[in-house]
Amino acid sequence: MRGDCGRFIRPFGNCGLFAAVAVVVVLAGFLTIGFAPPVQALPSFARQTGQPCGTCHTDFPALTPYGRRFKLLGYTAGGGEFRTTPFSSSTGSNARAELDKLRGYAKAIDAPAAGGGDKEYVPPISMMAIVGYTHTQGPTVAPPTDPYKANDNVVLTPFSGFWGGAITDNIGAFAQVTYSAPDPLSALSGTPADQFKHTWSWDNADVRFASTASIGPLDLVYGITANNNPTVQDLWNTTPAWSFPYAVSSLAATPAASTMIEGAFAARVGGVGAYTSINDLLYLEFTAYKTLGFSQQNSLGINPFDGPGLFGSVAPYWRVALEPHWGRHSLMVGTFGMYFDVHPWLDPSFATGTTATLPQSDKFTDIGFDTQYQYQGDNYWLTLRGSYIREFQRLDTSFANFASANPTNLLNSLKLQASFAYGGDNRVVLTGQYFDIWGTADATLFGLDPITGSALTPNSNGWMAELAYIPFGASKAFGWPWFNARIGLQYIFYNKFNGTTIGAHDNNTLFLHAWVAM
Amino acid sequence: MRKMFFATAAALAVTIAAPARAADLPLKTETPFAARFSWTGCYLGGHLGGGFAHKDLTDPVQLVQDSFLGPGSTDGITTVSPAPRGVVIGGQIGCDYQFAPSWVVGIEGAASGSTMKGSTTVGLPLGNPDTALVRAKTDFLTSVTARVGYAFDNVLLYAKGGVALAADRYDVAGSFADTPFGFVGLENRIGWTAGGGVEWAFSQHWSASIEYDYYQFGHSVIAMSDPTNVFLGNVDVRQNIQVVKAGLNFHIWGPGW
């Protein structure tokens, strides 16, 4: 859902703060009061499982232990009022029931009765939209700002459609198509490459096969994932694709530097991997990725030139996580990483009309470590998360082509987060996060300090705080399971931005948003 | 007759009462079954220790002098050997399987941050003459290893080996003919590691270990750049690292632990 949140969206017009707040409140009120439902994170998942939002999510899209196992089992667990599996057999369901009893995190999913096939079939299709008001301390959009204002914009982005749920008893999918409104004029390059910017694109996609087995003392859940964004398939909200903040302003500036695994190739790759969970304790995964070709990316609505280039070889991704759990406690300690062999575009401006890449490549080695502690109280969830990614950049081709000042660079990314979700329905979620990005100074990549004249670093750091309200989380009132909503007030404070403290506060961002799914 | 009744009743009472008294006697104490500690399962933990690296850098003198004066200006070959040392601290996760019945095999992933750094000064005879400060630093060390061991109940002697990665930084800085210079080189180097240790499970879930590891990273050429002077050159670095560390692990046995 966050995969394309970085896109710009069309403003509602020249609304002021009052109008912006009014729009958000009215829209949220329409969905929360008008329909008065307790809603689900992805309503198609709720229709399939019969579970309320709060079973899978502390605050969507953040997952509970049950939510992680639903994903682990390939989005196939059933038990709901509607049949969302067009092709059925009992084998997978029985295995799931066994696993569910073993876990004991939620009430056991009922194995389908003999007449289970009589349930009405509803395709697992959902939609979502985020409408938000963005205010930054300095101007948000550089001139020419059209079709936006310099600041205080209310925008609708992204708008997405999903297939979310089972296909067979052992195969399920999460697939997203997203509309993003055009960039402001100032974001256009003025080169022929601008013709490859799109509004509709494919977004996060994860198709899974999952099953269970017992080998001696080992209880296994195993599966295959085919996805288009490294870490989108991961079970924890500590890896980049599903990490906090889950919704961000599409207009406010964000730090320029990020590691490759933090979304640089989202929707630009295809990957197939195998995973297993052993004794509900040890999770192992290995996936191999390859970039889509220029025309394939373009056909799917992705501007290839917005990405770093194409892989020269298969990019391996690995994941190991140990998740002991006792009583209401769940702890995860893990590592993940990826190796990228990237051939940059020969002419990203497309002035020469070529879509070729350079013969040499840059190599990026990303190694990440993450941890999560989660506690389920009587009426609340406490979650602590931490992640650290270290990227070693061997910039053979960038250095040779004067695109970087150093042949090698380091880039680090750290996030420390605490989240407290209180309540079932009318759930209030308070999340705070410290973030720090730091690395090697490079005059070509990051520019020169205007005062000292020395090379700038990619360093940015600061704090995020978000207060979210989720009206429907635990019960099954009128309208269930068709709607869901989340209203968030988010503030991002920068101590340092893109290597300097000068003007860093200008990027401080207030983002009031309503996120609705149906 | 009356006497006979009382005698019979008394005898019966004794007969009945005797077993009752016997039942109240303490039973013979059985020797408790001492369950052997099982190393089968997974664990996560942390470690703290010291690291000692040996690095041979060839040739920082040529790097500097040839950058300023042109290729071929430097005669001879100079190798310097800063000896970085420092604290190693990190974590590990792994899983073991015990069989037949005291052998243990397992796999472990470990990662450490390190303060290992060292420096040495080398002369630049073609300068005024000048000197260059050569610094070497290893700040990250990680490995994936297999281990095999023999368990004496809750004490495990083991050997391990596998693949390792070290993240290094090298600096060659100073001034040459009154012009300051600063070469920097970064690398991630993959090598192998072998080691061994002893691990003591002092409770059902906790164990402590002492371990020695040897890392061999061979030699490779590292690009050194000086962005200020727009210089680029190479040094060859041969390195190995030895680590002694103490670890603490928490063991998890799977469902129902």
Place of tokens 């994936």: B144
To the nearest 10 degrees (0 to 180), the angle between helices A65-72 and A91-103 is 150
- pLDDT confidence bin for A479, thresholds 50/70/90: low
Is pLDDT at B6 greater than 50 in this prediction?
no
Predicted structure pTM score: 0.81
Looking at residue B225, its pLDDT comes to: 92
Q: Six-digit token pair at B65? A: 């002098």
How far apart are the C-alpha atoms of A70 and A210, rounded to whole Å?
A: 10
Task: Report chain A's mean pLDDT, rounded to a whole number.
Answer: 84
Query: Is B186 in Cβ contact with A410 (below 8 Å)?
Result: yes
Judged by DSSP in three states, A455 sits in strand
Query: Is B40 in Cβ contact with A408 (below 8 Å)?
Result: no
Q: Answer yes or no: are the C-beta atoms of A395 and A364 closer than 8 Å.
A: no
Q: Answer yes or no: are the C-beta atoms of A37 and A471 closer than 8 Å.
A: no
Looking at residue B5, its pLDDT comes to: 46
Chain A hits for B165, Cβ within 8 Å: 367
Judged by DSSP in three states, A11 sits in strand
- The DSSP H or E segment spanning B4 is helix B2-24
Q: What amino acid is encoded at A475 in this protein?
A: S
List Cβ neighbours of A124 (8 Å cut-off, separation of 6 or more): A44, A45, A47, A48, A84, A163, A164, A165, A166
How far apart are the C-alpha atoms of A242 and A217, rounded to whole Å?
A: 33
Looking at residue A214, its pLDDT comes to: 87
Instruction: Kindly report, residue by residue over A408-432, the tens digit of the pLDDT.
Output: 999 999 999 999 999 887 889 999 9
Q: Six-digit token pair at B88? A: 């190693």
Q: Answer yes or no: are the C-beta atoms of A262 and A255 closer than 8 Å.
A: no
Q: Answer yes or no: are the C-beta atoms of B207 and B249 closer than 8 Å.
A: yes
Q: Answer yes or no: are the C-beta atoms of A212 and A221 closer than 8 Å.
A: yes
A320 touches B: beta carbon within 8 Å: yes
Instruction: Kindly report, residue by residue over A287-325, the tens digit of the pLDDT.
Output: 999 999 999 999 999 999 999 999 999 999 999 999 988
Between positions 74 and 133 of B, the ones with CB within 8 A of A are 91, 93, 95, 109, 111
Query: Is A219 in Cβ contact with B91 (below 8 Å)?
Result: no
Judged by DSSP in three states, A181 sits in coil
Q: Six-digit token pair at A240? A: 């980049």
Between the alpha carbon of residue A355 and those of residues A343, A352, A361, the distances in Å are 12, 9, 16
Instruction: Kindly report, residue by residue over B214-232, the tens digit of the pLDDT.
Output: 999 999 999 999 988 999 9
List Cβ neighbours of A334 (8 Å cut-off, separation of 6 or more): A236, A238, A283, A319, A320, A321, A322, A323, A369, A370, A371, B93
How far apart are the C-alpha atoms of A459 and A437, rounded to whole Å?
A: 5
How far apart are the C-alpha atoms of B42 and A10, rounded to whole Å?
A: 51
A335 touches B: beta carbon within 8 Å: yes
A102 touches B: beta carbon within 8 Å: yes
Query: Is A102 in Cβ contact with B255 (below 8 Å)?
Result: yes
Query: Is A392 in Cβ contact with B227 (below 8 Å)?
Result: no
Q: Answer yes or no: are the C-beta atoms of B139 and B113 closer than 8 Å.
A: yes
Of all residues in chain B, the percent with pLDDT exceeding 70 is: 84
Range of A57-61, A92-96, A127-131, B143-147 with top mean pLDDT: B143-147
B142 touches A: beta carbon within 8 Å: yes
Instruction: Kindly report, residue by residue over A323-361, the tens digit of the pLDDT.
Output: 988 888 999 999 999 999 999 999 999 999 999 999 999
- The DSSP H or E segment spanning B206 is strand B206-226
Query: Is A440 in Cβ contact with B186 (below 8 Å)?
Result: yes
Contacts 24+ apart (CB under 8 A), A358-362: A358/A309, A358/A397, A358/A401, A359/A397, A360/A396, A360/A397, A360/A400, A361/A312, A361/A396, A361/A397, A362/A308, A362/A393, A362/A394, A362/A395, A362/A396, A362/A397, A362/A398
Q: Six-digit token pair at B33? A: 């079954």
Query: Mean pLDDT, to the nearest integer, of B6-12?
Result: 46
Place of tokens 């089968």: B40
Query: Is B40 in Cβ contact with A407 (below 8 Å)?
Result: no
DSSP A504: G
* Residues A403-438 as b or e (16 or more Cβ within 10 Å = b): ebbbbbbbbbbebebebbbebbbebebebebebbbb
Between A and B, how many CB-CB pairs are < 8 A?
A: 71
Instruction: Kindly report, residue by residue over A383-397, the tens digit of the pLDDT.
Output: 999 999 999 999 999
Query: Mean pLDDT, to the nearest integer, of A89-105?
Result: 50
Instruction: Report DSSP letters for A354-412, one per residue.
Output: ---B-SS-EEEEEEEEEEEEEEE-SSEEEEEEEEEEEEEEE-HHHHHTTS-SSSEEEEE
